[in-house]
Amino acid sequence: MRSFLFLLCCVLLSACAADPFTDSDVYAGLSPAAQEAYATVRDAPYFSDACVGFACIPPPTVEAFRVLIEEPLADKAFKSLMNEASIEGQLFGLVGVYFTDADRFARYASRYQHSGAKVDFVSGCVGRRTTARELVDEIIQGRLPESIRGY
């Protein structure tokens, strides 16, 4: 009985802590360009630095991130991505929260600090499979957010 009550409490607490934003709620307030950017980040096939490939060109996901961060509802969009996106898109969402909600950033980052979830990551000409935990450590240090934001 105790374990059932404990499990019930955990479920209730996690439901209370969830962000109330859904894809449709966020879409309603975004500009058409930002809606397209949101979809690009949500479906990100890999997480990356801003400099990818021999020519060091920002990939479409980074360009989309840069569109989203300029939106009035950027904070809600990034938090929504953390709930709905691929793991790679969730990390872009976390980078956004780094800028839009510094006070709550640590809480969001803690979701991934013990995660062994595999993430495809590209930086420069090198692609590798790593863990969300490793990339979150780099996000916390600030190098990846500054690179992705670009200014």
Give the integer Cα–Cα distance in Å for 146 and 43.
22
Q: Model pTM?
A: 0.83
How many other β-carbons are positioned within 10 Å of the β-carbon of residue 26?
23
Residue-wise pLDDT for 30-74, tens only, equals 999 999 999 999 999 999 999 999 999 999 999 999 999 999 999
Residue of 42, 34, 36, 51 lying closest to 121 (CA atoms)? 51
State how far Cα 85 lies from the chain centre: 8
pLDDT (0 to 100) of residue 26: 80
Residue of 55, 56, 81 lying closest to 64 (CA atoms)? 81
Starting at the edge strand that comes first in sequence, how are the strands of the sheet with 126-131 ordered?
47-52, 118-124, 126-131
Residue-wise pLDDT for 95-137, tens only, equals 999 999 999 999 999 999 889 999 999 999 999 999 999 999 9
What 3-state DSSP class applies to 31? Answer: coil
Q: Where are the domains of the chain?
A: 21-149
Say yes or no to pLDDT of 13 above 90. Answer: no
Say yes or no to pLDDT of 16 above 50. Answer: no
pLDDT (0 to 100) of residue 5: 35
Say yes or no to pLDDT of 15 above 50. Answer: no
